[in-house]
Amino acid sequence: MRILGIESSCDETAVAVVEDGRLVLANCITSSLSQHQAYGGVVPEIAAREHCKVIIPLVQQALSRAKIDWNEVDAVAYTRGPGLVSSLLIGAVTARTLAHVFQKPLIPVDHIAGHIYSNWLYEGDDPVAPEPQFPILILTVSGGHNELVYMKSHHDFEVMGETLDDAAGEAFDKVSRILGLGFPGGPIISKLAKNGNPQAFHFSRALMNKDHERNLNFSFSGLKTAVLYTVKDLAEISEAQKADVAASFQEAVCDSLVTKLFWALEQYPDVQEIHLAGGVSANQRLREMLQLRLAEKSPTLQLRIPLHMSYCTDNAAMIAGAGYYCREKVERLGTNF
Ligand code: KG4
Ligand code: ZN
């Protein structure tokens, strides 16, 4: 079964074709990022206007890359939310119109569920990994969300913990701005952190002291403020100090994420696999820290990270993949599940 997926929740416009929920036949994407950089964040009006311009050409590009026409598409999936309302609307209206014109079933998909299904995806040249085994513990971390999820079966999610304020990706973006660097902050901070000392500054980890032991929620706004005051105190900050701040901040974020993932694992010892998903799963230090602690504590547990960097950040293949696994539920229950 081939599903055409559409993702337009933020600044990326993306269209993909995925076969049977896993094999990516085409994964097309364009972004209005460069137009937002001067503002230090995404401007919804600019993002929505760009979606309007590029979405139909991108649908045509995806079909042509997948070497299929509309007769060979079995359903249309799109991101129903969460995201920027004006951006979501463009994707939803496009998907509805295409489904109506070509008489295809329409599958609305939750964006975070999409990120979760990024670990099912592979391309023609990749070795085929076996299907993930349930139950799965997922740490899904982006600019807009930050959750620990226990997944019992397809589209059966229990949120064990989430951020009480900023998501980790948002904290990376804000720290980049504090240091006078660009947007999005994640890739910039992680590159800079390679030259820094992660022990140079000690930033405390929120909700991790004795009073909060085993608390699976996250909080990163205090950390962002601590970075702000550290930078203010330094007054004339050198390049080396910027790298130290970046490395120490990144270490604090990764430590919070990984520590809480292991606390969650203690509550669910039946977990078969650990998955990392979302934009922040592109972070090398997070991957390395998780791999090291797994080798130490649960060496037999399977760890999955999206096979390609393009599956970590927003993309439409994850929406088509998640759509495949919930299509019957949508038919049976509508979208209220
Ligand atoms: O999943 P995503 O593309 O969009 C949302 O759903 O939010 O995630 C974007 C977020 C941004 O905040 C960006 O700074 C962060 O992911 N990010 C990273 C890295 N690459 C992207 N954060 C840390 N390290 C990275 N290498
Ligand atoms: Zn996302």
Q: For the CA atoms of 45, 51, 53, 58, what is the dihedral angle to 10 degrees?
A: 170
pLDDT in tens, 93-138: 999 999 999 999 999 999 999 999 999 999 999 998 899 999 999 9
Distances in Å between the Cα of 273 and the Cα atoms of 105, 149, 230, 276, 315 are 32, 12, 38, 10, 23
Pocket probe mutation, ligand 1, options 280, 285, 287, 315, max atoms within 8 Å of Cβ: 280
Ligand 1 pocket mutation, candidates 162, 313, 318, criterion most atoms within 8 A of CB: 313
Sheet strand arrangement including 156-162:
156-162, 146-153, 136-141, 273-277, 302-304
pLDDT tens-digit profile of 163-185? 999 999 999 999 999 999 998 99
Answer for the pair 114, 7: CB distance below 8 angstroms, yes or no.
Answer: yes
pLDDT of residue 112: 97
In this predicted structure, the answer to whether residue 64 has a pLDDT above a threshold of 80 is: yes
Q: Which atom of ligand 1 is nearest to the CA of 314?
A: 3
What is the average pLDDT value for the chain, to the nearest integer? 95
Local confidence band at 285 (pLDDT 50, 70, 90 cut-offs): very high
Cα-trace Rg, the chain: 20
Write the residue with the smallest CA distance to atom 8 of ligand 1. Answer: 279
DSSP-derived pairing of the beta strands 23-31 and 12-19: antiparallel
Q: Which protein residue has the closest C-alpha to ligand 1 atom 3?
A: 313
pLDDT for 332 beyond 90: no
Ligand 1 centroid to Cα of residue 328, in Å, is: 31
Is the confidence at residue 335, as pLDDT, over 90? no
Q: What proportion of the chain, given as a percentage, has pLDDT over 70?
A: 99
Question: Does the pLDDT of residue 72 top 90, yes or no?
Answer: yes
Do the Cβ atoms of 314 and 10 come closer than 8 Å? Answer: yes
pLDDT of residue 40: 79
**At 199, which helix (H) or strand (E)?**
none
Strand 23-31, strand 146-153: pairing: unpaired
Query: What percent of the chain has a predicted confidence (pLDDT) above 90?
Result: 89
* pLDDT over 90 at 231, yes or no: yes
The predicted pLDDT at position 197 comes to 98
CA distances to 21, 96, 106, 216 from 311, rounded to whole Å, are 14, 24, 23, 26
* Measured distance CA(283)–CA(285) in Å, rounded: 6
Taking the CA of 167 as reference, the closest ligand is 1
Cα 112 to ligand 1 centre (Å):
13
pLDDT in tens, 8-24: 999 999 999 999 999 99
- Of 335 and 54, the structure prediction assigns the larger pLDDT to 54
Out of 115, 142, 249, 250, give the residue to mutate to test ligand 1, the one with the largest number of ligand atoms within 8 Å of its CB.
Answer: 142
- Starting at the edge strand found earlier in the chain, the sheet holding 106-110 runs 106-110, 75-81, 2-7, 12-19, 23-31, 122-123
Using CB distances shorter than 6 Å, the residues near ligand 1 are: 10, 142-144, 169-170, 172-173, 184-187, 190, 278-280, 282-283, 313-314
Indicate whether 336 pLDDT > 80. no
Instruction: Kindly report the protein residue whose alpha carbon is nearest to atom 16 of ligand 1.
Output: 279
Q: pLDDT digit string (tens) for 242-263?
A: 999 999 999 999 999 999 999 9
For ligand 1, the distance from its centroid to the CA atom of residue 314, given in whole angstroms, is: 9
CA of 141 to the centre of ligand 1 (A): 8
SS (H, E, C) 231-244: HHHHCCCCHHHHHH
Q: How far is CA 4 from CA 24, 71, 126, 328, in A?
A: 10, 12, 21, 16
Helix axes 168-178, 185-193, angle to 10 degrees: 70
pLDDT of residue 32: 94
Predicted pLDDT of residue 261? 97
Residue 84: pLDDT band (50, 70, 90) is very high
Residue 214 has a pLDDT of 86
Please tell me the predicted confidence (pLDDT) of residue 85. 98
Query: Which tens digit of pLDDT belongs to each residue from 204-223?
Result: 888 888 777 789 999 999 99
Q: What is the pLDDT of residue 41?
A: 83
